[in-house]
Amino acid sequence: MSGTASTEVTPDLILLLSQASHVLTTEMTAQLTELGISPRGYCVLSKAMTGELTQSQLAELCDLDKTTMVVTLDGLERAGFAERRPQATDRRARIVSVTEAGERIVAEAQEIVAGLYDDVLAALPPSEREAFVDGLERLVHGRLSTPVRCQIPVRRRASRAS
């Protein structure tokens, strides 16, 4: 065997996924800003519409830490899109309800998001679209579902959207 490195090029998976995520998030942020909402706010509102969920449950569903969730809900309440009220069985917990204005924003945002996703996936041949999304879902719900513990914490890219 020779001491030379292989000439095979391995795709930089982390760079590809990171770049795709950044560009898609940036496009979505730009489009949703026209409605006065961020992708994070849209996520919280759309999940809150599914039932009587607490702030903590929504934070988990949207993958937000407690502080970010509070800041996001503060903004949604100021905009008149959501309200927090005490849970009937645990007065310390807060249920997030979506206002009529919030429901209208979610409906408009869903159209924007669907259009953006359609546009992005249209860059792939029709035969590859479903397989691409299925593969990502399997990775995110399987092998890449939980970060491993490491000595040096890995920080997520800071988002300017609230």
In a domain, residue 135? The reply is no
Residue 2 has pLDDT above 90, yes or no: no
What pLDDT, on a 0 to 100 scale, did the predictor assign at position 58? Answer: 93
In a domain, residue 147? The reply is no
In a domain, residue 46? The reply is yes
The CATH number assigned to the domain holding 90 equals: 1.10.10.10
Interacting residues of 95 by C-beta distance below 8 A, sequence separation 6+? 52, 53, 54, 84, 85, 86, 87
In a domain, residue 5? The reply is no
> Each residue of 109-133: pLDDT tens digit?
999 999 999 999 999 999 999 999 9
CA 6 to CA 4: how far, in whole Å? 7
- Give the number of domains in the chain: 1
Q: 4 falls in which pLDDT band (50, 70, 90)?
A: low
Q: 162 falls in which pLDDT band (50, 70, 90)?
A: very low
Q: Which two tokens stand for residue 97?
A: 């309800």
The domain of 64 spans: 14-113
Instruction: Say what the pTM is.
Output: 0.80
